[in-house]
Copies of this chain bind each other. A is one copy, B any other.
Amino acid sequence: MTDETDMANPPRILVVDDETAIRRFLRTALGGGAFSLHEAETGHAALAAAAVARPDIILLDLGLPDMDGIEVIRLIREWSPVPIIVLSVRERETDKVAALDAGADDYLTKPFGIAELLARIRASLRRTLQEASEPVFRLEGLEVDLVHRKVSVDGRDVQLTPTEYELLRLLVTHAGKVLTHGRILKRIWGIGYLDQPHVLRVNISNLRRKIEADPSRPRYIRTEPGVGYRMMGE
């Protein structure tokens, strides 16, 4: 589907643990730009951070100084379905059952492997992200909703043909950058059309007629003479 991995908006992770060593360990393990990290040392701080930072996932230790971790899960579950992965030294089955039934999504007993933790985080994110995130491109009056596959200009819905939409999608996902004729042709019409820029011009023209107010002086799709086209923005 989409080929561009969006590094601009890394998933937010809230780490809740009172031990500094553990937090530092997780910070190095989860760092590196793949995630945006927030930390909390107490249950109350965790509740506040969950509300303010809106994490995409919570890593929760059960042994907190001010309140029991199970209680933290319950209180969060009263208003948020955010995935919660429990990290705890308690390995008794009753502890696991209590945490899971309180609303936790997963339970790892310390010590755990960092690779396994990362895999479980990916599994959780995969479940929520496949429904959630709404990548919508906006530029002045133009709005391209890549999830719902909807395009509108100044509020009015615009109906595009499959190739027109593919072309627009390609431009939008590379907004600001110049796409060469060759790159576009290869991508949409396949290799073999490299020497036929005409089909591309026709489609750009049709696309402009549908989304540009004045196709002869385009606001969105600018042509870069001798090179290719560029979607404005960024």
Contact = CB atoms under 8 A, between A and B. Distances in A.
Contacts of A165: 227
Given A149-B224, A225-B162, A93 B105 contact: no
B177 A130 contact: no
Contacts of A192: none
Q: Is the interface of A mostly helix, strand, loop or mixed?
A: mixed
20 contacts: A93-B113, A93-B116, A94-B115, A96-B119, A97-B115, A97-B118, A100-B120, A100-B122, A100-B123, A101-B119, A101-B122, A105-B123, A106-B106, A127-B127, A148-B177, A149-B178, A149-B227, A149-B230, A161-B225, A161-B226
Q: How many copies does the complex hold?
A: 2
Contacts of A225: 161-162
A104 interface: yes
A148 B178 contact: yes
Interface in A55-95: 81, 93-94
Interface residues of A, number: 37
